Amino acid sequence: MPDYDFCLTGAGCAGLSLLMRILAQPSLRHKKILLVDGHLKNTNDRTWCFWEKGEGYFEQLVYRQWSKLLFHDNEQSRRLTTDPYTYKMIRGIDFYNYCFGFIKYLDNVCFRPGIVESLESNARSTYAVVDGRKITAGLIFNSMPPRKPADTPAWRLLQHFKGWVIRSLRPVFDPGEATIMDFRTPQQRGTSFFYVMPFSPTEALVECTFFSGDILPDREYTTMLTQYISRILGIRDYVIMEKEFGVIPMTTAVFPQQHNHIYQIGSAAGLTKPSSGYTFNYIQQDSDAIVDSLVQRGVPARQPVDRKWHLYDRILLNVLVTQKLSGQRLFSSLFTKTDLPDLLAFLDNKSIPAQDWAVIRSLPKGPFLRAALGEIFGLRRISTRKAPGFKAT
């Protein structure tokens, strides 16, 4: 008899999103469940931004939302309308407090702070080794990425970022508009841009983001943030309220989905969109599919992703990694030559053929045609760079 019915290794977005759905199902809510993470989840260590139509599963946790987005490069600025989507932000601390506030009253759910040293599943048992102790479970849902990335041919980039929540001494922000990309910053170290999510006329999250192969020294992010806030935003007097730093893998590598009774979820299952780094919505959709399958069939399963989305991601990463086209030109084409709802549907893997064509038509033909031919016919040189480690999401 296993110690637990379910063990969730990792209490980030994927683990908690799945757990909350399990606990919402009458046939599953009484299962004995262990949740393990090396952190107590009591700090605002990240934010998740995403877009969706209508209200989502965690709608009550949305901290801010916007229906107007701004895009800037060195040549132009555009004000974009998201309708029928809304661009939303959830703060990590609100998410953690909500989920842990719910489970702390449940006798059948146990949270254990600890380091997961290994996972194993064989004919005899399925177990996790946590701080030297072997804990058995009927099913393990793992959101921790492998310590060593698979050495398989794939395009690989890192999305790495540092953000500050700042408070200005005078009103400078329009809370009704968020800046999704601002390329008015040097591009020598890879594709780099800022985004600005205003919370009030005096407070906003300002984030410096890179798409490149290597993480930068911390002082370089700090310098760029300081210069952007003073030169572009025109803010001289402000205080830093919070800080965040993150690294997200952008890769076309194939992720293992399952080993006997160990089931991968979140970034460990490849749910991060390779060409954009967005993850939150894909985790929510995957959590729905897993729980539906558990209820109906007694085993976890996920919906397969249409092969065309894998092809589109490979083409976009091919262009970015090989620098057939600068990231600035690529995203400028997408955001200035495509209606935003069509682009958002495309980036969400939900576009119809007419929307696909609208996006494809906006892109420079030469670089993308060469990349597409290379991906379709295999005429490409694939990067096997191993990305540095990253945290589970």
85 Cβ contact list (under 8 Å, min separation 6): 51, 52, 53, 341, 344
Please spell the DSSP secondary structure of 337-376, one letter per residue.
Answer: HS-HHHHHHHHTT---HHHHHHHHHHS-HHHHHHHHHHHH
Across the range 5-28, mean pLDDT stands at 98
Q: Provide the terminal-to-terminal Cα distance of the chain, rounded to the nearest Å.
A: 31
Does 379 score more than 60 pLDDT? no
Find where tokens 């990253």 sit: 390
Half-sphere exposure in the Cβ direction for 144 (13 Å, CA): 22
CATH architecture, domain 156-250: 2-Layer Sandwich (3.30)
Does 90 score more than 90 pLDDT? yes
CB-based contact 324:281 (threshold 8 Å): no
Q: What is d(CA 335, CA 316) in angstroms, rounded to the nearest whole number?
A: 15
Please spell the DSSP secondary structure of 286-312, one letter per residue.
Answer: HHHHHHHHHHHHSS---PPPPHHHHHH
pLDDT tens readout for residues 321-351? 998 899 999 999 999 999 999 999 999 999 9
Task: Specify which residues 156 forms β-bridges with.
Answer: 251
Across the range 186-191, mean pLDDT stands at 92
pLDDT at 254: 86
Q: What is d(CA 178, CA 180) in angstroms, rounded to the nearest whole number?
A: 6
Q: What is d(CA 154, CA 139) in angstroms, rounded to the nearest whole number?
A: 30
196 Cβ contact list (under 8 Å, min separation 6): 173, 178, 179, 182, 204, 205, 206, 207, 233
Q: Which amino acid is at 25?
A: Q
Measured from the Cβ of residue 379, the count of other Cβ atoms closer than 10 Å reads 9
pLDDT tens readout for residues 21-72? 999 999 999 999 999 999 999 999 999 999 999 999 999 999 999 999 999 9
Q: What is d(CA 9, CA 112) in angstroms, rounded to the nearest whole number?
A: 10
pTM, 2 dp: 0.93
Q: What is d(CA 253, CA 95) in angstroms, rounded to the nearest whole number?
A: 29
β-pairing, 109-113 with 33-37?
parallel
pLDDT at 145: 83
CB-based contact 179:229 (threshold 8 Å): no
Does 389 score more than 80 pLDDT? no
CB-based contact 16:92 (threshold 8 Å): no
pLDDT tens readout for residues 226-244? 999 999 999 999 999 999 9
Angle between helices 307-322 and 327-337 (to 10 degrees): 130
**Residue 6 host element (H or E):** strand 4-9
Looking at CATH, the fold of the domain delimited by 4-65+90-150+252-297 is given as: FAD/NAD(P)-binding domain (3.50.50)
Handedness of CA 274, 278, 281, 287 (dihedral sign): positive
